Structure 1
Amino acid sequence: MTPIGDLLRGLAPQVVAALARRYGDFETCEDAVQEALLAAATQWPADGVPDNPKSWLITVAARRRIELWRSDDARRRREESVAALEPPDPGPAPQSDDTLTLMLLCCHPALTPPSQVALTLRAVGGLSTAEIARAFLVPETTVGQRISRAKQRITAAGGRFRMPPAGELDVRVAAVLAVLYLVFNEGHTASEGPELRRAELSAEAVRLTRLLRALRPADDEVAGLLALMLLTDARRSARVGADGLVPLEDQDRTRWDAAMIGEGLALVADVRPRGAVGPYQLQAAIAAVHAEAATPADTDWPQILGLYRLLERVAPGPMVALNRVVADAMVNGPVEGLARLDEVAADPALAGHHRVHAVRAHLLERAGDLAAARREFAVAAGLTRSDPERRYLEGRASAD
C-alpha cells in the first residue's frame, strides 16, 4: 500500500459519513465517494496531494453525487430542494460516532454476512470493488452486485445514517465485530485457493478493529477482538516454512512478532479484571496462554481447557467444541480426546468438514495408531479447499 493509498483508506469513511449525514441517501453517496477516491488515486500521484485532501474528496464526491442525483431525477422525475444540491462544508473532521454509525449501517441486520463484509470493506475500509474481489477470489462483477444489492436492501429496510436506539446498540456492535472477525479469519487462513493466508484481509481487519477500539475504548469485547487478532497474527511468519504449512507445535517461536504479542497481552490484562467476559475476550485469553509459552511443552493446557469450557457456555458452537476436544486430549490423553471427538462429530454442522478428520488423525497419531492416522489425514486432504492445507495433510498421510 502506498502513502496515498493509506491516506485514502483513512479518509474514506470520513468522506462517506460527511456526505451521508448531509444528504441521507447512503446508496448514492457511497457510489460518489468511490468515484472521488478513484479520481484521487489517479490524479494525486501526478499533481500532488491537495493541502486539504479531505475537503478535496468531499467536494469532488458531492459534485459527482449531484450528477448521479440528476441522472436519477431524469429517470424517476424525483423532486428535491435546490439547497440539497449544495456541496457540504467539509468543516472539521467528523465526530467519532460518524465512523461508528457508518460501520453499523454497513452491518445492517437486513444484510447477509457476505454483503456486510463487502460493504464494510468498501465504505469503511476504502477498498475498491476490484481489491475486494481479488482478496476473496470471486469475480469483480459478483462483488459489485453484492454491494449494490446491499445498499438497496438497506434503503428498502429503512436504514438511515444515524445511530440506532440505545437498546439496539450492543447487538449492532456485535454484528460489526462478527464481520471484522470473519474478515480476519479469511485473511489468516484462506478457506480456499493457492495461498495459506491473504495478508491484505487480515491487515485490514486489524486496522478497522483498531479504529473501532478508538471509537469504543470502554468496550471490552472490542479490546478482546483486537487482542485476539494481534496474538494470532503475531505467528504469521512462523506458519509457513520451506516445506509449506507449519503447525503451531512445530513453529519457531523466535519468529513470532514480539511487539504484537506484547500489545495483545497488554489488552488481555487490561480487560481481565472487569466484570463478565465475552467470547472474544475468552478466545484472546486462550491465544495469550499460547503466546506466553516459550516452548510447546510449556503450554498450560489445563488453563486452556478451562477457558474452552467457559467459552462453550458463553458462545457454544461446533468449532468451539472441536477445539475443546483438542485441549481435552492434551490434558487427559488422546483416548479421552477420541471419545469426546465422536460425540462432537455427530453435530450435523461438522458433517464433511476436513478439520474433524484432521483432529482425529492427530489424536490417533498420538495414541500410536499410525495407519489409522494416515487414513484420516488422507480423508481430510480430500475435503479441504485450501491448497497449502491439502499439501500438508497429504504429506502427513504419506509419511512413514
Structure 2
Amino acid sequence: MAARGVVVVGAGQGGLETAAALRARGYDGRITLIGDEPGTPYQRPPLSKGYLSGTTTGDELELRPLSYFAAQDIGLVTGDRVTAIDRDLRTILLASGLSLPYDRLVLATGARPRTLPVPGAASLSGVLSLRTLADADELRGRLSGPPLQLVVVGAGFIGLELAATARALGHDVTVVEVQGRALGRALTPVTSGWLVDRLRRTGARVLLGREVTALRGDAAGRVRVVELDVAERIPADVVVVGVGVLPNTELAATAGLGVGDGIVVDRQLRTGDPDVFAVGDCARFPSASAGRHVRLESVQNASDQARCVAAAICGEPVPYTAVPWFWSEQGPVRLQIAGLGAGHDETVVHGEPESASFSVLCFRRGRLAAVESVGRPADHGIARRLLASGTELSPEEALRPDFGFKTYVRTPPITKERLSVHA
C-alpha cells in the first residue's frame, strides 16, 4: 500500500492553501491534492470580473504554476472525483478506481450553484451559471461578440459584479431579484442601495421584489424570454442564474460525518472524526465573530482556515478565530467588508455615499460587529485591526464629530440625543 500522509479533497483556494501551509510549516510527509476539475488550481473571484472582460488571462488565474507542485513534492490529481471515504481503513476511493490511504484527510469540497426551479431552466441552451472556469469560458465567449440581452437572476455579489462587467462591455443587462433589496443578508441598506443605484446609472435595469416564473425558448431550444410573476416578459439571449450556492456535503454525509448547511466542525476545524478536517465554503464552524456556527464563502476564510488546519496537523492546534473579511469589485469601485454584520441593530455612516467614499459601521448590542467600506481602504484596514483586537467602540463614540478611523482615540461617549443613529 502507498505511504500514508495528508490527502486534501478539493483543489480550490482552501485545498491548495492547506497543502502549501503544510509544507511551509515543515510537514515532510506525503501530500496529495485532488481536484475534480482539469488543469491547475485557479482563482474564482476574477471569473465574474477581469476574466470575463479579458483583462485577466487564464495564466493569471493560476493559484500556483504546475512547477510549484513538483518543487514542493505535492501530488496533484486533477480531473478525478472522490466517490467514497472509508474511515475505518482511512482510505478514499476515486471515480477512476484509484484508492489512496491517509493519516489525515482534509475536505475542501466547496459549493455548487443552486438551480432555478422554473420551467425551461434545465432544458434551454443559454441558461448558465458562473462558478467554474468552464462556466466562465462559455460566458466569456458569448460576451465577446455583438451586444446581447443578458438577464441575471439574483442580485448577490456575483450577479452584481457580472452585471457591471457586462454593461462595461456594452451589453443590455437586466438583474432580477426576488427579495425587496439586493444582498439583504450580506449588506446594510445603505451600501446595498448604493450598489444598485450605481449599477442603474450605468444603464442596467435592476428589478427588486420580482420573481422569475419561467424561461421560454425558440424552436431551436435557445432561451429567448424570461417571464416574471407580474406577467412581464423580458427578452433574453443569455440568462445567468446566481441564486446562491449549496455546500458539497454529500461525501461527508455518506461517510457518517455531521452535516447541516455545511460539514460541521469544531473550533479547530475537525469533524466528528479527529482525523478528518473541513475548510472553506463547505465548512460550518463556530464563529467567534458571530457567536454561532456559520459557513462563509470567501478567499480569506478559506486561506485562514487552511493555515489553522495545517497547524493542527503539524501538532500545534489553535482555535480558528480569524476576523472575517470580504471584498467585491463593482466596475472600478471596490467594496470591502470587515466582520459579520448579520443581526446588527444600529449603524453609523461616515463619509458621503454620493462621493463613492464612505464606511458603514454596524453595531450589535452596542459593540462594533462589522464595517462596510466603499472607496476607503484605510478604514477597512483599521476596522479589521479593531475587530481582531476586540477594541471597544460604541455607536456614541463613532457619532462624535471628531471621530475618524485614522485618529481613533477612546474618549467619553456622547448621547444619542445629540446625533442621530441610522437604524
Higher RCO structure (Cα 8 Å, ≥6 apart): 2
Higher helix share: 1
Q: TM-score range by the shorter chain?
A: under 0.3
TM (norm. structure 1) is 0.25
**TM-score of the superposed pair, with normalisation by structure 2:** 0.24
